[in-house]
Structure 1
Amino acid sequence: MTERERQHKQVLREFDNRRLENAKTHKLRQQEIYKLLPEIEQIDNQLNLDGVSLIRNMFNQLDNREQYQQQTNNLILQKKALLVENGYSRNYLEPIYNCKPCKDSGFIDNQRCNCFKQSLINLAYKQSNLDNLLATENFTSFDFSLYSPEVIPEIGKSPRQQIKYIHDNAVLFIEDFKHTYNNMIFLGKTGLGKTFLCNCIAKELLDKGHTVLYLSSSQLFKLLEQARFDKENLTSNSRNILQAIYDSELLIIDDLGVEAMTTFVPTDLFNIINTRHLNHLPTIISTNIDINDWAKLYSERIASRFIGNYVLYRFIGMDIRLYKKYGTNI
């Protein structure tokens, strides 16, 4: 079962529980009113009898729908008037729905209702590990002015020109996501916006209904270590994340290189990037490890996969966190 299928199944369960809870509340309201206003119970009983009578007459080819409708309307008006007279809302005994268009089924004419789509998005946000960050770290708050416009002679570009180039390619990555398989590596020193741009991409894709999993490299390899040595104590959420590493539509590994290095890290990393590559599932990796050190730190075959299957985007300039704090690049 893929991450998308698991999320779909979980949302279906949530809608089932929602309907059950609302039906329970409706039943309690009905019992309350019947006890206080027995005449309303009589009206409901009469409405049920009239409905049965209408069906029987239709089977006998007697069409009295107009008379039935008029009588039903009169009874409903009496019922609502009694409720209002006794301090209740006129709709107090109506069925309770969080979403009236689909009546909490999640579907309208076999198509997903907007409420169901939004529930999937909300769940994807929660399971992406980015739920809180994306409210502030997104394309609407992306600020090019934080990057210096001064050209770096040995590169021939300014940090601002370079970040605009990377930004535009990130937008293309999102636009082509459904139809084109691409992987990206964001390479650069700390504080240049690599993680921020990862979060921008994640938010856009989550809002479009795609499954995204974000993990720092420390989180990733710690989880894999637990799965290897302490599997029986894994929580259900951890098990879901482990599966999502391999089947989420986008995996983001942030800060590759800061993890505690063990003999298992190169093998685990290769299995992840290779499995996802074989299944054409995109991966974005951010790192400050220079390309010349990939083979030395991990392995030749990992360096080969990175060079052959990923597009490298190099972030340049000075630490923008310092710029935000002190108002200057130092």
Structure 2
Amino acid sequence: MGYEAIVLRRAARRLEDRRKERAAAQARREAEIYARLPRVAEIDRELKKTVFQIIAASLREGRDPTPSIQVIKDRNLSLQAERTRLLLDNGYGADALDGQPVCPHCNDTGWVGARMCTCLKQLCAQEQIRELSKLLDLGEQSFETFSMDYYSDQPWPGEALSPRENMEFIFDMCSNYARKFGRFKVRNLFLSGPPGLGKTFLSACIARSVSEKGFSVVYDTAVNIFARFEEQKFARDRQDVEEARDETKRYLGCDLLILDDLGSELTTPFVQSALYTLVNARLMANQQTVISSNLSMEQVRQRYTPQIASRLEGEYRVLPFYGEDIRLQRKKDL
């Protein structure tokens, strides 16, 4: 489990900016207090000197430094008490000059030992959602805002469940998949059905929820993904090749890949090979994938190789969407 390098860099940069802003604010507060209360400035200068006095006393030869150190400590405590009294009497907090970090757990470093602190994880999650939003609309899309209103409770031809009953099952499956990501019995999902039935919306809900839990999530369309694989193999410009290689590493290495609109790409022998590599590599690495497609599983068998179809049927939970196109329903309501 981990974030992509670009996400971690952006989050770390924000943490550093926040640390600089806090330091600048602390410097302004200190200047204000010192200008208003010159005695506090004098006390702080004297307190800094006591550190060197203690060190000098402890290094002095030929005598026990303990009495000298105790005198200095007593003087230090007296100065601190005077400083606190001056701050409180003039409307400041006792810790107004102490520069408390925003996060007391890591002192705004982002790390507690070798473990990433919660504050940096939160920034990483925000940056990852921002990255996902470049291709996937994550505005108000969440499981909490999903509506069943556009799914009929009337029987649907050829199906045992009504569109609403079917969608209630799909919604429960997707929400549990996201909520229990990595622990849920189902590892991979194949969202199948005509356009306008909520596949992309639920993909966005899964992406948001899993990302917020600290997992790396990559979303992209089938057309873009296979174009990147093709660039990596055939591009002549070195920079284009390296960029394509970085992208394909993201697809292969992330905790969750959401591949949208499978079947919209031109199905060449190269694309067949790239899809097999992608699906098989992620299965072998025990990494999870969500695929959405307008194709039924029967159409998948007709369009792709038997090896691809076998892995999708055997290793993915197929969730068939059906009902009336939500976009068309909304258009009628206008």
2:205 pairs with one of 197, 200, 209: 200
Offset of 1:74 from its aligned partner? 1.6
SS of the residue 1:178 aligns to: coil
Offset of 1:152 from its aligned partner? 1.6
- Cα pair 1:251 1:283 within 8 Å, conserved: yes
**Residues 227-261 of structure 1, C-alpha deviation per residue, up to 9 Å, x if partnerless?**
33155344998665432201111101111111244
SS of the residue 2:218 aligns to: strand
In 2, distance between residues paired with 1:191 and 1:96? 51
2:193 pairs with one of 188, 192, 196: 188
| Structure 1 residues 73 and 232, CA gap change in structure 2 (3 angstroms) | farther
Higher mean C-alpha displacement, 189-198 vs 236-245: 236-245
Q: Which residue identity does 2:308 align to in structure 1?
A: I
Offset of 1:38 from its aligned partner? 7.5
Higher mean C-alpha displacement, 135-144 vs 34-43: 34-43
TM-score in terms of structure 1 length:
0.81
Higher mean C-alpha displacement, 10-19 vs 295-304: 10-19
Higher mean C-alpha displacement, 187-196 vs 50-59: 50-59
Residue 163 (structure 1) aligned with residue 152 (structure 2): no
- Cα pair 1:181 1:281 within 8 Å, conserved: no
- Please, what is the CA RMSD of the aligned residues? 3.7
In 2, distance between residues paired with 1:181 and 1:171? 12
Within-5 A mapping of 1:106-185: 106-107=110-111, 112-129=116-133, 133-179=137-183, 180=185, 182-185=187-190
Within-5 A mapping of 1:234-253: 234=240, 240-253=246-259
SS of the residue 1:148 aligns to: coil
In 1, distance between residues paired with 2:16 and 2:244? 25
**Match of residue 95 from structure 1:** 99
| Structure 1 residues 173 and 49, CA gap change in structure 2 (3 angstroms) | same
**Match of residue 293 from structure 1:** 299
Higher mean C-alpha displacement, 41-50 vs 102-111: 102-111
Within-5 A mapping of 1:190-229: 190-228=195-233, 229=235
Offset of 1:99 from its aligned partner? 3.7
**Match of residue 104 from structure 1:** 108
**Match of residue 273 from structure 2:** 267
2:262 pairs with one of 256, 262, 270: 256
Q: Which residue identity does 1:311 align to in structure 2?
A: R
5+ residue gaps in structure 2?
60-64
Residue 74 (structure 1) aligned with residue 79 (structure 2): no
**Residues 5-26 of structure 1, C-alpha deviation per residue, up to 9 Å, x if partnerless?**
6345664455456545654675
TM-score in terms of structure 2 length:
0.80
| Structure 1 residues 61 and 238, CA gap change in structure 2 (3 angstroms) | farther
SS of the residue 1:205 aligns to: helix
Q: Which residue identity does 1:154 align to in structure 2?
A: G
In 1, distance between residues paired with 2:37 and 2:242? 48
| Structure 1 residues 34 and 145, CA gap change in structure 2 (3 angstroms) | closer
Within-5 A mapping of 1:52-71: 52-54=52-54, 60-62=65-67, 63-64=70-71, 65-71=73-79
Q: Which residue identity does 1:207 align to in structure 2?
A: E
Residue 47 (structure 1) aligned with residue 47 (structure 2): yes
In 1, distance between residues paired with 2:151 and 2:109? 49
**Match of residue 4 from structure 1:** 3
2:310 pairs with one of 262, 287, 304: 304
| Structure 1 residues 226 and 111, CA gap change in structure 2 (3 angstroms) | closer
SS of the residue 2:149 aligns to: helix
Q: What count of residue pairs does the alignment treat as equivalent? A: 323
Offset of 1:121 from its aligned partner? 1.1
**Residues 241-288 of structure 1, C-alpha deviation per residue, up to 9 Å, x if partnerless?**
432201111101111111244442111111111110000101111111
**Match of residue 328 from structure 2:** 322
In 1, distance between residues paired with 2:136 and 2:283? 29
5+ residue gaps in structure 1?
none
The percentage of counterpart residues that share the same residue type is 28
Residue 313 (structure 1) aligned with residue 312 (structure 2): no
Higher mean C-alpha displacement, 24-33 vs 10-19: 24-33
SS of the residue 2:295 aligns to: coil
Q: Which residue identity does 1:325 align to in structure 2?
A: K
- Cα pair 2:189 2:291 within 8 Å, conserved: yes
- Cα pair 1:212 1:249 within 8 Å, conserved: yes
